Amino acid sequence: MVNRHQQGCEKPDTILEAMAASDEPRGANRRQHARVPGPFDGYRISVLPIPVQIYDLSPGGCFVNSLNEQKPGIRVVLEIELPGEGRIKVTGETLYAKPDFGYAVRFVDMPSDLAARIDAALRRLNEE
């Protein structure tokens, strides 16, 4: 049995460390939107709403803290509690997963008024 620490594959301790240790290619930052680390309360809407914690929220997407594995390319519906805005409902597509932490979501089919509400709420939070 090989020790993970000997391989240099130390498991991150927090959700933010896991997101920073992304398997995404290094290099230029591909993000188009300002982000707020969170956490935000939310639900993944399925047969029954599943409570989740949302991190790294932007008008373009977020990271969903979840122990459930999720394959890339799956459509998901999320409800997110935004301070000052109430609960919003967004549709997204999973991008990649961080085992034992969750998965990244890119928002799709976002109405412009909803994107503006998210952007305004996140700007207020960044100013605090």
Query: Is residue 19 domain-resident?
Result: no
Domain that includes residue 89, residue range: 33-127
The 10s digit of each residue's pLDDT in 72-100 is 999 999 999 998 889 999 999 999 999 88
Number of domain units in the chain: 1
pLDDT (average), residues 51-79: 92
pLDDT at 106 over 90: yes
Q: What is the largest CA-CA distance in the chain?
A: 54
pLDDT at 107 over 50: yes
Instruction: State the CATH number of the domain containing residue 71.
Output: 2.40.10.220
Structure tokens at 82: 């935004």
Q: What is the DSSP letter of 25?
A: P
| Angle formed at CA 82 by CA 19 and CA 116, multiple of 5 degrees | 95
Rounded CA separation 106/47 (Å): 21
Nearest to 31 by CA among 13, 56, 5: 56
pLDDT (0 to 100) of residue 29 = 47
pTM for the full predicted model: 0.74
